Chain A
Amino acid sequence: MEDRLSHIERRILAILQGGLPKSRTPYKDMAVQADLDTKQILAVLQQWKRQHKIRRIGAIVNYYKVGLEAGAMVVWQVEPERIKRIGEEMAAFKQVSHAYQRQTAENWPYNLYTMVHAETLDETRRIVQQISDACGVSDYRILDTLRELKKTPPTYIINGE
């Protein structure tokens, strides 16, 4: 289990979760909002980066607008003894942005999850077929994205608590 966040860290997270302030001095603005010094903000963010609590800070780009129009979640059923190797193989495809092993359910046997991106739906199909052939996994489902229902930054601190 990770350490609990300190009071100062929670104040910073409460602001950071909604994104950086839209200003040319975002960290200074965060400091004003959190009633802290800019140096304190930068020190905590630098520490979080070192600890990999922050994976990345900067622009969140809408990739549907930079040419990748089609995305599908593909779920695969892989024998448990092969899943580590297959997961790594699938992750090596550049069109695969996410690859996870997940728990299964009684009525849902799929244990490997990939997000596959391409410019068109047909292209997505072709890449999925390629992955299937290369990794020798024939039991899969393609779950096309029909519509984005909600996309918000995660809310860690609710109502400032």
Chain B
Amino acid sequence: MDEMDCKILNALQYEFPLSERPYDRIAEKLGISGDELWTRITALTDRGVIRRMGASLDSRKLGYSSTLAAVSIPASDVDRAAEVVGRYPEVTHSYLRDDQFNIWFTIIAPDRSRITRILDEIRADLAIDNDRILNLPVVRLFKLDARFKSSPNDH
């Protein structure tokens, strides 16, 4: 990843314009052609550096409810449990973590009652007791910053 790639990554993350031809605007700003920019973006995407182009949305401000949940599952059952949890479109991220509560996942749904229903279904499907599932909605947000500045020595 060279210096231009880093400039591109930063511009795509922080300054992506809301205009008819956003990529051409960025190319102009960086002093390269639209074609070169597009070629570099395609390469960064193919290498998996750029996951996707999209919006980070505030689900609460859009009128949705969300939560962080966890289940405690024996190691031998993890794959099936991951499948059960992951099949809900409302489940957005799910991670296997090194703890007694080992599968952690976030849910975004139109309201609290839908979240409760999903968790009830998951608990029933996995045949686990109430104390093996956690529902941990946010009380207060201190920081949310999933952006990372790139520098040329990053691979």
User: Once the chains bind, are B49 and A106 in contact (CB under 8 Å)?
Assistant: no
| A9 to B57 CA separation, bound complex (whole angstroms) | 13
Cross-interface CB contact of A102 among B63, B92, B98, B138, cutoff 8 Å: B138
Say yes or no: A59 contacts B16, CB within 8 Å. Answer: yes
Q: How large is the interface on B (under 10, 10 to 19, 20 to 34, 35 or more residues)?
A: 35 or more
B interface, by DSSP: helix, strand, loop or mixed?
A: mixed
CB distance from B56 to the nearest CB of A (A): 4
Interface residues of A in 23-41 (CB under 8 A from B): 24-28, 38
Is the Cβ of A67 less than 8 Å from the Cβ of B142? Answer: no
In the bound complex, do residue B68 and residue A143 qualify as a contact, i.e. CB atoms below 8 Å apart?
no
> Complex formed: what's the CA distance from A16 to B18 in Å?
13
Q: Provide the B1-39 mask, 1 if CB < 8 A to any CB of A, else 0.
A: 000000001001111101111111000000000100010
Q: Verify if A129 is at the interface (C-beta below 8 Å from B).
A: no
B145, A5: Cβ atoms closer than 8 Å = no
- State A147–B103 Cα separation when bound (angstroms): 10
Nearest first, the 7 A-B pairs at minimum CB distance are A58-B16, A91-B143, A59-B12, A19-B54, A99-B142, A155-B89, A101-B140
Interface residues of B (CB under 8 A from A): 9, 12-16, 18-24, 34, 38, 47-64, 68, 82, 85-86, 89-99, 101-105, 108, 131, 134-148, 150, 153-155
